[in-house]
Amino acid sequence: MPHAYLVGHITVKNADKWAEYRSKVPATLAPWGAELVFRGTQAAHYAGEQPSPEIVVIRFPDQASVDRWHTCAAYQALLPVRAQAADVVLSSYQA
């Protein structure tokens, strides 16, 4: 069964709110068997439009787990903080 990867492109608007949001997300991921693959800040850009300077990649066991995580009450409760903290584009991919 292929894994699913959640990729977030992030532009931080409020560093304090972003730190608050980031500190709470891991607890929402654990029930879905997700793990942080990497988080980083852009070092260079070589082609095309770059949507944002920061990125996060999270691996889930499957796409259904991504869907359930994204709609779970624990994560949904963080959305107001995320909206204040950053502009975030989330997409999932299967590999």
Q: What is the pLDDT of residue 49?
A: 86
Cβ atoms of 32 and 68 closer than 8 Å? yes
Q: What is the pLDDT of residue 54?
A: 96
Q: What is the pLDDT of residue 64?
A: 97
Q: Which DSSP string do the residues of 43-84 spell out, in sequence order? A: ----SS----SEEEEEEESSHHHHHHHHHSHHHHTTHHHHHH
pTM of the model: 0.92
Q: What is the pLDDT of residue 50?
A: 81
Q: What is the pLDDT along the chain (95 residues), one digit of tens a residue?
A: 689 999 999 999 999 999 999 999 999 999 999 999 999 999 998 999 887 999 999 999 999 999 999 999 999 999 999 999 999 999 999 98
Q: What is the pLDDT of residue 18?
A: 97
The dotted CATH code for 4-43+51-94 is 3.30.70.100
Q: What is the pLDDT of residue 88?
A: 97
| Separation between Cα atoms, residue 58 and residue 66, nearest integer Å | 9
